[in-house]
A = this chain, B = another copy of it.
Amino acid sequence: MIIVLTPQATDKDVDELTDNLKSRGFGVHISRGVERTIVGCIGVLDTEKAELSEQLQALPYVERVVIISKPYKLVGRAFRPEGTIINVRGVEIGGNRLTVMAGPCTIETEEQLMETARFVKQMGAHILRGGAYKPSTSPYSFQGMGKDGLKLLAAAREETGLPIITEVMDTRDVELVAQYTDIFQVGTRNMTNFALLKEIGNTNMPVLLKRGWASLIEEWMQAAEYIASRGNYNIILCERGIRTFETYTRNTFDINAIPVAKELSHLPVIADPSHGTGKASLVPAVAAAAIAAGADGVIVEVHPHPERALKDGPQSLRFEAFAQMMERLRALAPAVGRSI
């Protein structure tokens, strides 16, 4: 850890700081430049650095503290350089084969879910998505079917053989949802719901962790570390777009985050171009882009009748559009050294 003092810092300040750090058991290394003094602090545990850094920055003679190492270890690339493959009922996520997760935003009726499940299965999707508990900006919007939705999902798995993924939003629901789903989804609004992350960390279930819409990539890594630090390493990262000044699209899909996440972490990375764009017409192009950039797969919203969807109609692919997207990805996969 490097502590940069202000130009006004006196020798007394340097001594005080040195004593302070030594009394905590750290090594100290002083470097006096022309304009200011820089103090290296050696032996601080990575897990202590954020706290110590804030404390030192509160000192009047400290201008800045620079932390070198990453605040996450278990999900860091160095921890498992070869990468992580997560096996969900035989579907490998993070391996050579790309993973396509597809289904409706929200489970509305048995018919809607089954029709979609059968179609996406037939087109080659590997995982079925569907929301039973829905985060809605408005309290007056549909909040999801809850447990009945979970049952329908399980029935769809039964019929199609596709493993399922569904969102969990409340610590109190983790146990129930775990009885039905194969993969938890943590939505963008709950990436910083640390109580929820801890609860999921206590299970050993696979979890798809969406990046918060205004979370730094390194905060996303730390959210994953919350789960891993409880012992659950079955984490799938999901970039779903961030909030920027641009209003033409619902979010700005952060394509840079794909190769960055692969550099920083050993975890699989999935792209969500449905939320990343908010417009069905843009989904196939951004899905292809994410695969070309190194993503391990995509998660997309598909609906038999988007104009009747209870949620996310504008970004849901019609069946025909989903079929075309699959064709596009099928052409692309070998060109980037993957299968599908």
Contact = CB atoms under 8 A, between A and B. Distances in A.
Contact of A252 (B190, B254, B306): B254
A52 to B, nearest CB: 10
B286 A259 contact: yes
Interface in A123-149: 135-143
Contact of A282 (B43, B219, B259): B259
A69 to B, nearest CB: 6
A340 to B, nearest CB: 12
Interface string A315-340: 01000000000000001101110000
A31 B29 contact: yes
A111 interface: no
Interface stretch (A86-94, A151-159, A221-229): A221-229
Interface string A159-181: 00000000001111100000000
A313 B214 contact: no
A14 interface: no
B4 A68 contact: yes
A260 to B, nearest CB: 6
Interface of A: 2, 4, 29, 31, 33-36, 38, 40, 42-43, 46-48, 50-51, 54-59, 63-64, 66, 68-69, 71-72, 135-143, 169-173, 189-190, 192-195, 198, 212-214, 216-219, 222, 225-226, 229, 242-249, 252-260, 263, 276-277, 280-282, 285-286, 288-294, 306-314, 316, 331-332, 334-336
25 contacts: A2-B38, A31-B31, A35-B69, A36-B68, A50-B140, A50-B141, A54-B311, A55-B313, A58-B309, A66-B66, A71-B138, A135-B194, A139-B226, A172-B195, A216-B247, A218-B248, A245-B245, A246-B254, A249-B256, A256-B286, A259-B286, A260-B282, A292-B293, A292-B332, A331-B335
B135 A192 contact: yes
Given A2-B66, A282-B260, A140 B309 contact: no
Given A58-B306, A225-B138, A38 B35 contact: no
A137 to B, nearest CB: 5
B195 A170 contact: yes
A31 B2 CA distance: 11
How many copies of this chain does the complex contain?
A: 4
A192 B189 contact: yes
A286 B293 contact: yes
B56 A307 contact: yes
Nearest to A260: B248
Given A54-B309, A249-B256, A285 B280 contact: no
A291 B255 CA distance: 13
Contacts of A43: 34
Ranked 6 nearest A-B pairs via Cβ = A214-B214, A58-B313, A47-B140, A58-B306, A189-B192, A335-B335
Nearest to A189: B192
A313 B57 CA distance: 7
Contact of A289 (B63, B170, B194, B290): B290
